[in-house]
Chain A
Amino acid sequence: MKLRSAVILVAIIAIVGVLVYFGLFGATFGVYKMEPLAEQINLGLDLTGGAYVVYEADEPDAVEDLEGKMQGTMTVFRNRLDAKGFSEATIAKQGEDRIRVEVPFNSEDGKGADPNMISEVLGKAAKLEFKGPDGVLIIDGDDVVSTKAIIDPNTKQPVVAFELTNDASSVFADATSRFKGQKIGIFIDGMEISSPVVNEVINGGSGVIQGDFTPESARDLAIQIESGALPLEIHEIEQRSISATLGVDALSKSIMAGAIGIAILFLFMIIYYRVPGLVADMALIIYMFIMLLLLSSIKSIQLTLPGIAGIILSIGMAVDANVIIFERFKEELRLGKTLRTSLNSGYHKAVRTILDANITTVIASIVLMIFGKGVIKSFAYTLTIGIVVSMFTALFVTRWLLRLFMGLGIKNKGLYGARRVEK
């Protein structure tokens, strides 16, 4: 019995130790490589630095096919962001009529910390129009198949080359023959950017837009014409940016705060509750490993600053469950019962308390998870997971470990926290 308990206990400690080590530092097994779990956690903008902008459709009730137009707008956003190299950006629909764009800070090129830059990339809808001298529209951006920024071989100036659809090509050829020798105005968002004189009829459906361009502005214009004007009128309603230094600082300081808090907790538990305290600490390590595993594997959960607060709070509550059990255990010991009977009856009585207390808290945190927004949601997620996992470790892991310790032959009641036995 003694030997069996000892072997199992040593095995558990070894397994947990190895798992925690792999979790923290990663491992390589032949061709399989395991990244450290912490690095796989999806971090929120407040921890990486970056920016987000929330857009809302203007008068959504008056828009026909809002759903489709929202999708269209998101596609245009994606194109514009990709074209500018913001490949890590996420675009998500919020509710019926809102779009949230998040751009994490990119440590390689330093992009992403400035929401004005996102607004510039996304907000600038380039509506291209060619108008005749009489002010009548000839073709517009919808007729353009593709655009490209090139250097005009003749003038050595940056220009935007475009190609038209077949239908538009004939319309354009028609117009250029009609307005030969006259000026055609090229407008971007209603602003005339150049007004070249038509020298010859343009048949092939391709041409160039000349203007006062730099290579960059020509490229930007090309992207903007090609991705088209937004299908929807939108406006910004919310934005936030966090510099990378602030984000990294927040992460490291929270981790430090958590580590110190947990260290104090560990000491408190051992000093106050002796052997059970040590067991609770072991259970807590297992608890934290499970949390790390869940957070890194459930990709839809983003860890944010309030999320870390939720975890730290749930660690406190994980200890709570142990405290409830141990106090019960002590009460039973004081009644003069044996260790094993005390453990069983203490557990039996504590389970109901822990379930009732935690279920009420879980009710509140699930409501927040469903109805809460942003910050509150992410907090509620980690808190809910935390409470469920902590109940598991307190009710099963701690009990199992305590039995093993008793099996080792540690029978001194004083070591289990019963200082005096009331008969």
Chain B
Amino acid sequence: MRQVNIVSKAKYFIMASALIIVVGVVFGLFGGLNLGIDFTGGTLMTVDLGSEFEVSDVAAVLEENGVKDAPIVKSSVDAGTVATQAQIRIKDMKGVKSEDLRANILNGLKEKYPDTIVFEGETIGAVTSSEIIRNAFLSVIIACVLMLGYIWIRFELYSGVAALTALVHDVLIMTAVITIFRQQINSPYIAACLTIVGYSINDTIVLFDRIRENNRKYSHREYTRQEVADISIKETLSRTINTSVTTLVTITCLYIFGVDSIKEFALPLIIGLISGTYSSIFIASPIWVGLMNRSLRKVGVKHKKQNKTA
């Protein structure tokens, strides 16, 4: 039985994660977060002008309606065909009714391009957008408190704390990677974070379940908690990897074959799934060992093989 040595090297794994998060923060500070209108409020309109068009014409219509510096992206329905669509992103304007603004822009465009139709559109008021964020935060906090309570009852407090730390780690990694890739942050991203909050804990629990079992099997006198954690990680490794792979397969297919709005959801999920598997082995377990050792030292449990590095 080949030994694995994960817990003793924990500081390297924690440093690696911290590095990714720091790079994310640096990107965020200098490049800014690419927040979608779900967060900022405003109007996103994709119009199909029916024929090839000049971006300057669209900009002119926008300017007539008092919209300045609105980003306009030209695109086509199918790759390779003539670009007939314009995606316009307008900030929330005080005192202007968004329904009037949209109607005016559409009419303005129709003057030059009579076949113009609205292909896709979205308006989110500033009030709604701050509600979405508040609501998401609230949901996560409630979910975390309840999960902590459940783990506390079924396992012990340290497992709960370690599992939740791993969750926070996963959400931070997801946000960092998304920031580095400059993917837009919209409600699908929040949904993805919430999914990972629910799913990543699954992996951690499977591992902690084995630790719980082995804790009874391997006495405190003969084994350090570090050894028990390492043994448990090894025993559950194929499980941990296979459960993640099976879920990753389906989500990756969604990312490859899905439409844009599902990609916005699938990419953070993929990152979160990988991070979730990583964190249950390399982050949650060492934290549990650290917490356990501290409390064991307090009550004065002595190991036969003290300071053994396995």
Contacts and interface: CB of A to CB of B under 8 A. Distances in A.
| Bound pair (A, B) | yes
Contact of A115 (B102, B154, B198): B102
A357 B199 CA distance: 9
A243 B85 CA distance: 13
B103 interface: yes
B201 A360 contact: yes
B172 interface: no
Given A237-B128, A257-B257, A371-B138, A359 B150 contact: yes
A330 to B, nearest CB: 9
Most central of B117, B118, B249 by chain A CB within 10 Å? B249
A254 B132 CA distance: 26
Given A235-B97, A258-B254, A364-B143, A272 B242 contact: yes
Interface residues of A, number: 76
Interface stretch (B6-14, B65-73, B188-196, B282-290): B188-196
Contacts of A135: none
Nearest to A118: B99
A376 interface: yes
Identify which of A51, A260, A264, A368 gathers the most chain B CB atoms within 10 Å of its CB: A368
Contacts of B128: 54, 237-238
Interface stretch (B24-32, B174-182, B260-268, B298-306): B260-268
Contacts of A335: none
Contacts of B93: none
Interface in B24-81: 77
Contacts of B121: 51, 115, 239-241
A261 B253 contact: yes
A383 B269 CA distance: 14
B262 A309 contact: yes
A145 interface: no
B88 interface: no
A320 interface: yes
B238 A327 contact: yes
B136 interface: yes
A256 interface: yes
Interface string A113-125: 1111001100100
B214 interface: no
Given A309-B262, A312-B250, A313-B251, A353 B135 contact: no
A53 B235 CA distance: 53
B206 interface: yes
Interface string A354-386: 001111110111011001111110011001000
B102 A268 contact: no
Interface string A277-315: 000000000000000000000000000011011001101
B66 to A, nearest CB: 18
B187 A376 contact: yes
B219 interface: no
B103 A323 contact: no
A75 to B, nearest CB: 21
A391 to B, nearest CB: 12
A76 interface: no
From DSSP, what is the main secondary structure of chain B's interface residues?
helix
Given A371-B135, A373-B132, A116 B102 contact: yes
Interface in A237-274: 237-243, 245-246, 249-250, 253-254, 256-258, 260-262, 264-265, 268-269, 272
B146 interface: yes
Nearest to A273: B242
A53 B119 CA distance: 16
A72 B261 CA distance: 36
Given A238-B128, A257-B257, 20 more contacts: A237-B124, A237-B127, A243-B117, A253-B262, A254-B258, A257-B262, A261-B249, A261-B250, A265-B250, A306-B191, A309-B262, A320-B247, A331-B235, A360-B202, A361-B198, A363-B150, A368-B143, A368-B198, A373-B131, A373-B132
24 contacts: A119-B103, A235-B97, A238-B123, A241-B118, A250-B261, A253-B257, A253-B262, A254-B259, A257-B254, A258-B253, A265-B246, A313-B195, A315-B250, A316-B250, A320-B243, A360-B147, A360-B198, A364-B147, A364-B201, A371-B138, A373-B132, A376-B136, A379-B191, A383-B195
Interface of B: 77, 97-99, 102-103, 106, 117-125, 127-128, 131-132, 135-136, 138-139, 142-143, 146-147, 150-151, 154, 187-188, 190-191, 194-195, 197-199, 201-203, 205-206, 209-210, 213, 235-236, 238-239, 242-243, 245-254, 256-259, 261-262, 265-266, 269
